[in-house]
Structure 1
Amino acid sequence: MTTTAPRNHMPPLRRRLLILVTAVLLLAGLGTAVVLHAASRADRANRPQPGGPAVDTGKLTLDRKGRLTFVNAAAGPHRTAVASVPSTDPGGGRTASDLKCARFYAAAGTGVCLQSVPGVLKQSNRALLLDADLRTKRTFPLAGTPSRARVSPSGRFAAWTVFVSGESYSSAFFSTRTSILDTRTMRLTPSLETFSVVLDGKPYHASDINFWGVTFASDDDTFYATLNTANRTYLVRGSLSRRTVTTLVENVECPSLSPDGTRVAFKKRVLSRTSLWHEYVLDLSTLKQTALAERHSVDDQATWLDDDTVAYALPAEGKVGSSDLWSMPADGTGTPRLLIANASSPAPL
């Protein structure tokens, strides 16, 4: 008689445990590989490059006049750190803080820093409200990727915009969320979409409304922003106390109010549904638009250095993921000039 060796049947519970352990180990290995790859990229970005700007650690405060703050984009250990230079010598040595931000802005001793920290499964985004010494007063979770940040001239209000879906304003499908914080009461308006909209003189309601690019007037009530709906963009004037916005002009994005409150610098889409923008200045009293001298496409919210000059970021030539700051006259004359190489998010103090 022939006998057959008994098969080695593994109990179902043990088999499931083995599969679970194997899956966990595979995921752990994948996570480790992702983290190591990200660390390797970060290490390369943190190595100083020959010929790069001089960047030193030092005391940086937001109430020191005559300084221009920005996010340092130069390779090295201070990459993405908030830094500053003398306003009279923007090409000089940089003083870098320990604070790192994706977007930054400051006014009247108040700062806002938008941070984005990559993770294994998803990135962590948050907004930091800062005092004059760059100390964090409050932290707010963000619903998406940082895009724009502004502080009112008095320092009372801060605003930020994030991409909830999509990664740029040139994406076919994207949505944004814009929040405004009262830094005195810490009352947060999570989304401007809760404000009433008046479009062409009539109340307007739609499910596709998006706002971005807030800029504040000096009265601590009036602000300007971009409204997007039905594939059109508008400059809106808003009131924080009345919680309303009213459209003024079509085809206006990322407005920036001049220090004297009379003009708005903005990017204007050159052709419908393209990712090409030119920089303009709008006179708020006459609604006359003046094209500025920059001929490159500007996908940024400009900053006024004074009543006559605007600054903005352009991609750095030959450097992926980096940008340079440029400036030009706000009256349409002159030519653009390099303000600070390897930098973004300018904020004059």
Structure 2
Amino acid sequence: MRASLTPTDAPLRARLLALALAVAVLAAVAVVATVRAADRAAEKDRAQPGEPAAHAGEVTLRQPGRLLFRNLAWGPQRDRVSAVPLTATSGPRTSAPRDCLRFHAAAGTGVCLRATGGVVPGHEAVLLDARLRPVRAFPVPGTPTRARVSPSGRLVAWTVFVSGDSYAGGAFSTRTAVYDTRGGTLHSDLERFAVLKDGRRHRAADHNFWGVTFAADDSRFYATLATGGRTYLVAGDLASRTMRTLRENVECPSLSPDGTRVAFKKRVAGASADAPWRLHVLDLRTGRESALAERRSVDDQALWLDDRTLLYALPGDFGADLWSTPTAGGGAPRMAVRSAASPAVTG
């Protein structure tokens, strides 16, 4: 005799059917996600027509006359620290097995800000030796945005976004650290330094610092301070753990090789809120500032290629391209390196 369903069996069957459908949907979603991830990985491994050629090889910080950067050309070497001769920056690039989101190097010391794997993804700052081998790693509490090494290679600085991901608006928070490779001292947060504004101690809960650039004496540095909706160029001293404001409306300073000028991005009146900056150069002795020929908004900490030329990143077809412009204010910008960011020059 066939058993008949009781009133309590029907809801149970409905729940089981719903559960089976849910499991099937989740399985389908997982399959689609896996296929898409595989497609993206395969796309990354395929070089695109017209992109610069990159091949794996040895890259060191002791080769003079080389430009190093984060390679953004699609292919197996994307995101890796790569190098080209300064005399042939558009030629094939050599890539080391070192993936970085931000990179800088000087005098045989490198810093690589990179993502970490694991169950809970994160980021870290990795110190590199002259052969780009990891020396020491520091967990960082946010998304990498700036990195700098002092001219001597002794001091290393990095900045991360703790919240927010753009300097264009005001809703962000940063954390900036400085590490002394010789003494082993880590200044984990510049917000712990004393700030002097107009000769008086300035205290505020909204202090944010970024864009450190070092002087040659391995004690003095410059950086950006944001507070009260404004930005300032600050001069800092590691020995006294102090900073003093020098000038308003200065972001991402970069000190010239001779220590007399600072390149920076400045917010200009009438510009779009999403693209508000123009590159300028400030003469620290006279206080005179000059707008540069690059009129596009540059959201980067420019690098002095030499006393006469700045390098900086602008959005490109595959992430970013490196451009150059004269520091004297004349001339015209030109493409320096396609599909590249985070430059450094070996002496």
Q: When the two structures are superposed, what TM-score results if normalisation uses the length of structure 1? A: 0.89
How far did 1:172 drift? Answer: 4.0
Q: Does 1:325 align with 2:322?
A: yes
The gaps in structure 2 that reach 5 residues or longer are 10-14
Partner of 1:163: 161
Partner of 1:232: 230
Instruction: Note the alpha carbon deviations across 1:63-86, whole angstroms, 9 max, x for none.
Output: 111101001111111011100110
Taking the aligned partners of 2:23 and 2:306, their CA distance within structure 1 comes to 57
Taking the aligned partners of 1:40 and 1:118, their CA distance within structure 2 comes to 20
How far did 1:54 drift? Answer: 1.7
Which of 270-279 and 242-251 deviates more? 270-279
How far did 1:197 drift? Answer: 0.2
The gaps in structure 1 that reach 5 residues or longer are 10-14
Instruction: Note the alpha carbon deviations across 1:22-72, whole angstroms, 9 max, x for none.
Output: 999998986776565444323323310122212111110011111010011
Taking the aligned partners of 1:186 and 1:292, their CA distance within structure 2 comes to 39
Partner of 2:198: 200
Taking the aligned partners of 2:248 and 2:321, their CA distance within structure 1 comes to 29
Partner of 1:281: 281
Partner of 1:296: 296
Secondary structure in structure 1 of the residue aligned to 2:269 = coil
Count of residues in Structure 1 that have an aligned counterpart in Structure 2: 338
* One-letter identity of the residue aligned with 1:243: R
Decide whether aligned partners of structure 1 residues 41 and 171 sit closer, same or farther in structure 2, where only a CA change above 3 A counts: farther
How far did 1:116 drift? Answer: 2.3
Taking the aligned partners of 1:117 and 1:142, their CA distance within structure 2 comes to 10
Taking the aligned partners of 2:258 and 2:147, their CA distance within structure 1 comes to 20
From 254, 257, 265, give the equivalent of 2:255. Answer: 257
Q: Does 1:64 align with 2:90?
A: no
Taking the aligned partners of 1:247 and 1:262, their CA distance within structure 2 comes to 17
Taking the aligned partners of 1:187 and 1:27, their CA distance within structure 2 comes to 50
Which of 133-142 and 165-174 deviates more? 165-174
Partner of 1:12: none
Partner of 1:104: 103
Taking the aligned partners of 2:105 and 2:83, their CA distance within structure 1 comes to 12
Taking the aligned partners of 2:110 and 2:22, their CA distance within structure 1 comes to 45
Q: Does 1:144 align with 2:137?
A: no
Q: Are the equivalent residues in 1 in contact too, given 2:101–2:115 (CA < 8 A)?
A: yes
Taking the aligned partners of 1:207 and 1:39, their CA distance within structure 2 comes to 45
Taking the aligned partners of 1:223 and 1:113, their CA distance within structure 2 comes to 20
How far did 1:190 drift? Answer: 1.1
How far did 1:178 drift? Answer: 0.5
Partner of 1:222: 220
Q: Are the equivalent residues in 1 in contact too, given 2:170–2:229 (CA < 8 A)?
A: no
Taking the aligned partners of 2:116 and 2:33, their CA distance within structure 1 comes to 14
Taking the aligned partners of 1:77 and 1:348, their CA distance within structure 2 comes to 24
Partner of 1:48: 47
* One-letter identity of the residue aligned with 1:201: G
Decide whether aligned partners of structure 1 residues 6 and 27 sit closer, same or farther in structure 2, where only a CA change above 3 A counts: closer
Decide whether aligned partners of structure 1 residues 50 and 194 sit closer, same or farther in structure 2, where only a CA change above 3 A counts: same
Which of 153-162 and 26-35 deviates more? 26-35
Q: When the two structures are superposed, what TM-score results if normalisation uses the length of structure 2? A: 0.89
Secondary structure in structure 1 of the residue aligned to 2:41 = helix
Instruction: Note the alpha carbon deviations across 1:236-264, whole angstroms, 9 max, x for none.
Output: 00000000000000000000000000000
Partner of 1:348: 345
From 181, 185, 196, give the equivalent of 1:187. Answer: 185
* One-letter identity of the residue aligned with 1:314: L
Taking the aligned partners of 2:114 and 2:24, their CA distance within structure 1 comes to 31
Taking the aligned partners of 1:123 and 1:305, their CA distance within structure 2 comes to 35
Partner of 2:172: 174
Decide whether aligned partners of structure 1 residues 26 and 225 sit closer, same or farther in structure 2, where only a CA change above 3 A counts: farther
Decide whether aligned partners of structure 1 residues 25 and 180 sit closer, same or farther in structure 2, where only a CA change above 3 A counts: farther
Secondary structure in structure 2 of the residue aligned to 1:139 = strand
Partner of 2:242: 244
Please provide the CA RMSD for this pair.
2.8
